[in-house]
Amino acid sequence: MGKEVNGVSRSRFEMFTNSDEAVINKKLPKELLLRIFSFLDVVTLCRCAQVSRSWNVLALDGSNWQRIDLFDFQRDIEGRVVENISKRCGGFLRKLSLRGCQGVGDSALRTFSQNCRNIELLSLNGCTKITDSTCNSLSKFCPKLKHLDLASCTSITNLSLKALSEGCPLLEQLNISWCDQVTKDGIQALVRSCPGLKGLFLKGCTQLEDEALKHIGAHCPELVTLNLQTCSQITDDGLITICRGCHRLQSLCVSGCANITDAILHALGQNCPRLRILEVARCSQLTDVGFTTLARNCHELEKMDLEECVQITDGTLIQLSIHCPRLQVLSLSHCELITDDGIRHLGSGPCAHDRLEVIELDNCPLITDASLEHLKNCHSLDRIELYDCQQITRAGIKRLRTHLPNIKVHAYFAPVTPPPSVGGSRQRFCRCCVLL
């Protein structure tokens, strides 16, 4: 083989001769053509490969296939396709997404692992045929793996996490959401050998308890993102350990973890000043006291989901309006104690004019058109949710739109109940009743 140029040996260029009829092949150096092909997507590359023999070689060269996303073709992707891609790409491939490709199984991914040993990002989200065997293959052949998405691969167990801990020490982000066979033993093995973990997505891992969180807090000082949604067994005890050990934490989701209390908000305020995203929907024990501590210490908050935090009042909104100038998205749906006064403070706070983009107020019965008046100067406001806010009127929404013409307003107005018919003794039935 001759000297390589951009990953392609010069011998491959020998098929290009001055007799090639295509003008572009005469005018452009082959190295430049290869560079142009490197910017094309999967479909376009395949089309180029059908133009001529010379373009076939260039289009299908492994250097053009460093980043592949096959989500749009998931119904057509079978194991043999992945095997063929891996053989063609070899060591060039860095990023591959097979999200939703349910036809791909362990055998194909073993071949892939053997051929693509420089892979750094791999998404197998929704590849339901995947088992622990695939993680064993990745552990043996892919030591450079940094991001791995196994969400909804429900056959994954602790054995997968132990395998990854042995062969993939550079792992930075792991998503095993809905892998509900995973327990504290798998988490312990993983975090002890992958100290650089920055993102852990454990949504729906219902067997996890506080003991698992204590291992994370003890071994993951670089952790930035943690999702524990619907991990219903966890309590304050485990989450406080996370807060004390993960001072870089920026995003935390504990929605549906009904056992947590204000102690978590105090711990976040005292230990995680960089917090930007907090999702605590359906955590009904949280109160204004906890959110006051949080707001006074976490000034970088940008997104908060407080849906069904039923004990909070306008007091929480007052603190957020004063101390959280970067707030962009706020969900207060089903927070039934919120009133127009809380929205007034929010609408006059530092986040209102330039930052606030989304506010959700579904099922807030005390909210009236006055709240919409308080929000009319929020020039960045893109969307507002008002389902089942019975004191909001069409006229109020119309007035808001005169100030914010591009805002998306999602509201529902129940049809007016028709008055009872006057006169006539004939009983009326709807068509459904007749049919039934």
The residue written with tokens 């389902």 in the block is 387
Q: Are 361 and 339 in contact (CB under 8 A)?
A: no
Which range (9-18, 68-77, 146-155, 170-179) has the least confidence?
A: 9-18
Which residue in 308, 309, 330 sits closest to 321, CA to CA?
330
CA distances from 249 to 63, 171, 197, 253, 307 (A): 37, 17, 12, 11, 22
Task: Tell me the average pLDDT across 183-199.
Answer: 97
**pLDDT tens-place string over residues 401-426:** 999 999 999 998 766 566 555 554 44
Q: How far apart are CA 398 and CA 408, in angstroms?
A: 12
pLDDT at 224: 98
pLDDT at 45: 76
Q: Is the per-residue pLDDT at 391 higher than 80?
A: yes
pLDDT at 268: 98
pLDDT at 8: 45
Q: Are 96 and 119 in contact (CB under 8 A)?
A: yes
The fraction of the chain above a pLDDT of 90, given in percent, is 75
Q: Are 9 and 1 in contact (CB under 8 A)?
A: yes
Amino acid present at 60: L
3 state DSSP class of 77: coil
Amino acid present at 389: C
pLDDT at 37: 80
pLDDT at 22: 67
Task: Tell me the average pLDDT across 336-361.
Answer: 95
Which range (91-95, 159-163, 239-243, 315-319) has the least confidence?
A: 91-95
Domains and CATH numbers, the chain: 25-64 (1.20.1280), 271-414 (3.80.10.10)
Which residue in 136, 58, 145 sits closest to 96, CA to CA?
145
Which residue in 76, 86, 89, 93 sits closest to 107, CA to CA?
86
Residue 42 vs residue 190, higher pLDDT: 190
**pLDDT tens-place string over residues 281-325:** 999 999 999 999 999 999 999 999 999 999 999 999 999 999 999
